[in-house]
Amino acid sequence: MAEATPIRPLSVDQVQAWDHEADVVIAGYGIAGVSAAIEAARAGADVLVLERTSGWGGAAALAGGFIYLGGGTPLQQALGFEDSPENMKAFMMAALGPGADEEKITDYCNGSVEHYNWLVDNGVPFKESFYGQPGWETPYDDGLMYSGGENAAPFNTVATPAPRGHVPQMTGKRTGEKGGGYMLMKPLVETAEELGVRHEYDMRVQRLIVDGNQVVGIVAKHYGKELAIRARTGVVLATGSFAYNKEMVQAFAPQLIGKPGASIEEHDGKSIQMAQAIGADLAHMDATEVAFFGDPQLMARGILVNARGQRYVNEDTYPGRIGQETLLRNGNQAYLVIDEAAYEEGCAADSSTPFFRFQPKWVAETVEELESDMGLPAGTLQATVEVYNRHAANGEDPVLGKKAEWCKPIGSPVAALDLRNFTAGFTLGGLRTTINSEVLHVSGEPIPGLFAAGRCTSGVCAGGYASGTSLGDGSFYGRRAGISAAKG
Ligand SMILES: Cc1cc2nc3c(=O)[nH]c(=O)nc-3n(C[C@H](O)[C@H](O)[C@H](O)COP(=O)(O)OP(=O)(O)OC[C@H]3O[C@@H](n4cnc5c(N)ncnc54)[C@H](O)[C@@H]3O)c2cc1C
């Protein structure tokens, strides 16, 4: 059966004429693509970026803008936080696995301060202010925040807590529309343009062009016409994740069926499939980021319980960790149990996600009554609240390690928010690459002429996630891809 959209490589013998040529050809003008473009141009290459939509940006321009950086960046230092590459690595190895790529994480941590300086030198602004409230993002324009649960159990005992979510400064921020990610992309695209990087929009890459086992170009569709684009030294794949490819999600990350989040429809796995078609290896295809639609200011002040009325995560941690614990290990069943005073206090606090402050579904005078109204097995929620309250009275949570500042006994009246099936996410697995962003063949050898970065690759996250690691490894390994592709 003929493939509807051919994905198999095209042999260079079949190319009648080249429609475009450059030294380095980059597929995708998001964070990985723009970073590759800048470094390839600085290395002296003639660079052409092919972008499927009618403009630059990708998911990156819609993003909240966290970039995971540390090891003692000037911003961390200015705000009084101590960090080192070793400390950063200890956290990342513990939080982003199981199976995190130690070579990549070591490399990423060792290069993080330099990467921060590179971003600043290319015009990305970071404001010297720290936001310390529980939250998905800062509601303001602060430059630094905890974004992976570094300061919460269990990681606060593995490594010295240091905030590493660096956010580009932005006025008039609109979550999910135009946030810090826009202020990351805009200066980088301007830098690329100043360096003479060319772009072609409305170009949808389809398959690779090969000369034997060497990648020498790429085929792209432009308003229905197939064009052949020659890459004299290298092709960089940077078209994003496979969160919107139903078949791939079904095959590799079924926990996300029907729940793509924090990604864009263009993330259809095309880079992964094109490279697979010439023998590329894959890694951690089951790993997913999981967002949870709860307001962290409320969650920290209550307790989250599953369908058995049991707590399963410390509520003051990174909300993405709460999302993973809820979806992956608790059947996507979550209820937030909170008393009236705590609910009112949480609703009055700062938040970047006030739209996640839902009305309680059940309200009762006693926990026994609440448990019965919620349909939980008799005695379960009562036992949970009894144990929680006993220790919270002493400012402790020996069960899950919630910090003392959030440990307060749950009183009356008591309510529960129905947070079942409140998750969505994006895929983290993809092409297996080296620290120089070479795409590896299943044999373990790099595929000549082929490089990749961003969410079409497996980056620093193999299972767990911290906000900022996608824009972080996308920009970090995007740069490497540009340097490597320019060398050929
Ligand atoms: C609302 C929101 C908030 C987020 N917040 C954060 C955050 O704070 N921190 C963080 O680290 N991450 C965040 N993310 C995730 C992050 O934006 C992405 O994971 C990241 O942008 C991936 O980088 P990339 O370069 O691989 O993909 P992108 O930045 O999406 O770039 C890929 C580009 O390739 C193009 N493309 C796709 N297919 C083709 C094709 N066939 N031919 C040519 N071009 C193609 C796309 O149109 C796109 O422009 C957020 C995402 C969203 C949507």
pLDDT at position 1 over 60: no
pLDDT at 291 over 90: yes
Closest CA to 203 of 40, 35, 54, 401: 54
Q: What is the pLDDT of residue 466?
A: 98
143-164 average pLDDT score: 98
Q: Write the single-letter amino acid at 485.
A: A
State how far the Cα of 359 lies from the Cα of 282, in Å rounded to an integer: 43
Tally the residues of the chain.
Answer: 488
CATH of domain 1-293+423-488: 3.50.50.60
Count of CB atoms within 10 A of residue 396's CB?
14
**pLDDT beyond 80 at 2:** no
Per-residue pLDDT tens digits for 217-236 = 999 999 999 999 999 999 99
Secondary element (H or E) of residue 62: helix 58-62
Q: In the prediction, which pLDDT does 484 show?
A: 98
Q: If you average pLDDT over residues 163-167, what whole number do you get?
A: 98
| Helix or strand run (H / E) with residue 165 | strand 165-166
Q: Is the dihedral of CA 476, 478, 482, 487 positive or negative?
A: positive
294-421: which CATH architecture? Answer: Alpha-Beta Complex (3.90)
Choosing from 20, 49, 52 the residue with most ligand 1 atoms within 8 A of its CB, the one to mutate for a pocket test is 52
Q: Examine the pLDDT at 482 and tell me if it is beyond 50.
A: yes
The tokens describing 320, both together, are 């993405």
pLDDT (average), residues 456-466: 98
The residue nearest atom 27 of ligand 1, judged by CA position, is: 240
- What angle is formed at CA 106 by the lines to CA 105 and CA 111, rounded to 5 degrees? 95
CA of 62 to the centre of ligand 1 (A): 8
DSSP for 94-122 reads HHS-SS--HHHHHHHHHTHHHHHHHHHHT
Averaged pLDDT, 113-137: 97
Q: How far apart are CA 214 and CA 351, in angstroms?
A: 51
List CB contacts of 399: < 8 A, sequence separation 6 or more. Answer: 311, 387, 388, 391
The verdict on the CB of residue 62 being under 6 Å from ligand 1 is: yes
Contacts of 470 (CB under 8 A, 6+ apart): 31, 63, 289, 454, 455, 459, 461
Q: Give residue-wise pLDDT tens across range 240-277.
A: 999 999 999 999 999 999 999 999 999 999 999 999 99
From ligand 1's centre to the CA of 33, what distance in Å?
10
What value does the mean pLDDT take over residues 423-445? 98
How far apart are the C-alpha atoms of 448 and 9, rounded to whole Å? 14
Q: 284 CB under 6 A from ligand 1?
A: no
Per-residue model confidence (pLDDT) at position 4: 66
How many A from CA of 238 to the centre of ligand 1? 9
Which residue in 155, 159, 92, 145 sits closest to 469, CA to CA? 92
Listed in sequence order, the residues at least 6 apart from 467 whose beta carbon sits closer than 8 Å to its beta carbon are 64, 66, 68, 136, 137, 147, 148, 165, 318, 320
85, pLDDT greater than 90: yes
The domain locations on the chain are 1-293+423-488, 294-421
Instruction: Tell which atom from ligand 1 comes closest to the C-alpha of 270.
Output: 41
What is the distance in A from the centroid of ligand 1 to the CA of 272?
Answer: 15
Which ligand 1 atom is nearest residue 50's CA? 43
Q: How far is the CA of 263 from the centre of ligand 1 (A)?
A: 6
Q: How far is the CA of 475 from the centre of ligand 1 (A)?
A: 11
Nearest CA to ligand 1 atom 13: 63
91 CA to centre of ligand 1 in angstroms: 25
Query: 176 CB under 6 A from ligand 1?
Result: yes
Please tell me the distance between residue 30's alpha carbon and the centre of ligand 1 in angstroms: 6
Q: How far is the CA of 456 from the centre of ligand 1 (A)?
A: 10
CB-based contact 151:81 (threshold 8 Å): no
Q: Look at residue 3 in the predicted model and tell me its pLDDT.
A: 63
Distance CA 486, CA 213 (A): 18
The answer to whether the CB of 59 is under 6 A from ligand 1 is: yes
What sign results for the dihedral spanned by CA atoms 43, 44, 45, 46? positive
Q: Output the furthest CA–CA distance in the chain (Å, rounded).
A: 78
- The H or E element spanning position 216 is strand 214-222
Q: How far is the CA of 321 from the centre of ligand 1 (A)?
A: 21
Q: Which of 168, 171, 200, 202 is nearest to 187 (CA)?
A: 168
Contacts of 271 (CB under 8 A, 6+ apart): 27, 28, 205, 237, 238, 239, 240, 430, 431, 452, 456
- Whether 163 lines ligand 1, by a CB cut-off of 6 Å, is no
How much distance in Å is there from the Cα of 58 to the middle of ligand 1? Answer: 5
d(CA 173, CA 167): 12
For residue 424, give both structure tokens: 């969505």
SS3 assignment, position 425: strand
Nearest to 476 by CA among 42, 68, 64: 68
Contact present, 43 and 36 (Cβ < 8 Å): no
Peptide linkage before 413 cis (omega within 30 of 0): yes
The answer to whether the CB of 455 is under 6 A from ligand 1 is yes
**Which of 147, 203, 239, 465 has the most ligand 1 atoms within 8 A of CB, as the residue to mutate?**
239
31-77 per-position pLDDT tens digit: 999 999 999 999 999 999 999 999 999 999 999 999 999 999 999 99
**Could you tell me the distance, in angstroms and rounded to a whole number, from the CA of residue 16 to the centre of ligand 1?**
33
296 close to ligand 1 (CB < 6 Angstrom): no
Ligand 1 pocket, mutate which of 69, 115, 266, 461 (most atoms under 8 A from CB): 266
Alpha-carbon gap, residue 247 to 243, rounded angstroms: 10
Closest-lying ligand 1 atom to the alpha carbon of residue 206? 41
205 lines ligand 1 (CB under 6 A): yes
Whether the CB of 52 sits within 6 Å of ligand 1: yes
Is the bond leading into 98 cis (omega within 30 degrees of zero)? yes
- Write the CB contacts of 390 (distance below 8 Å, at least 6 apart in sequence): none
Amino acid at 36: A
- Helix count (H) and strand count (E) of the chain? 15, 21
Percentage of the residues of the chain whose pLDDT score is greater than 90: 96
Q: Which atom of ligand 1 is nearest to the CA of 469?
A: 11
